[in-house]
Amino acid sequence: MKNIGIIGARKFKDRKAVIELVKALPADSIVVTSSCRGVCQWAGEAAKARGFSVKIFSPDLTCVRDRIEMVERYYERNRQLISACDIVHAFISKEAGLTGGTKFEVRYAKRLGKEVYLHWENSGVQRIGQKQKGLPFAHEDKNFTTGWLKFFSEVLG
């Protein structure tokens, strides 16, 4: 039994692709998603129709005082959702690309060593492994790492 995360951009339009993925999952799968409209909503509906257990993660917005705190609660929800998954399927909008919360979730899943599949709208599926190079955001990781290495060499050198 595996927890299968299904996430994606709200601008992703191919509902059929999401439903087909859910139909192809093993019978003992547990679908992990959020309550966001679009991909997550479709995944939850298709999973329930197939009789799967569904774990839906929502942000805790009680006592939110400002927009910054609200955004952090959504990112905390994203971390919890990804942590609960064994495998992550991310549906990427042709229009928007890999951005926002979906980009954060994919990067977080990669950091945790999760198996990740990017479903590019109208362009196929890309598997991301821990050792795979050429990720859509690889240049950002390199710059981030280089900055920290420089910082530590200056402080400790």
The span from the CA of 131 to the CA of 110, in Å, is 10
Residue 3: count of CB within 10 angstroms of its CB = 17
Read off the pLDDT of residues 78-115 as tens digits, 9 standing for 90 and up.
Answer: 999 999 999 999 999 887 788 888 999 999 999 999 99
Residue whose token pair is 């991301």: 128
Domains of the chain by start residue, with CATH = 3-156 (3.40.50)
- DSSP letter, residue 85: -
Question: How much is the pTM?
Answer: 0.80
**Is the Cβ–Cβ distance between 120 and 126 less than 8 Å?**
yes
Read off the pLDDT of residues 104-143 as tens digits, 9 standing for 90 and up.
Answer: 999 999 999 999 999 999 888 989 865 444 444 444 444 4
Q: Tell me, what's the pLDDT at 38?
A: 94
Q: Tell me, what's the pLDDT at 99?
A: 84
Is residue 10 packed enough to be buried (19+ CB in 10 Å), middle (13-18) or exposed (0-12)? middle
The span from the CA of 64 to the CA of 41, in Å, is 24
The span from the CA of 154 to the CA of 108, in Å, is 28
Q: Are strands 53-57 and 87-92 parallel, antiparallel or unpaired?
A: unpaired
Residue whose token pair is 């190079």: 133
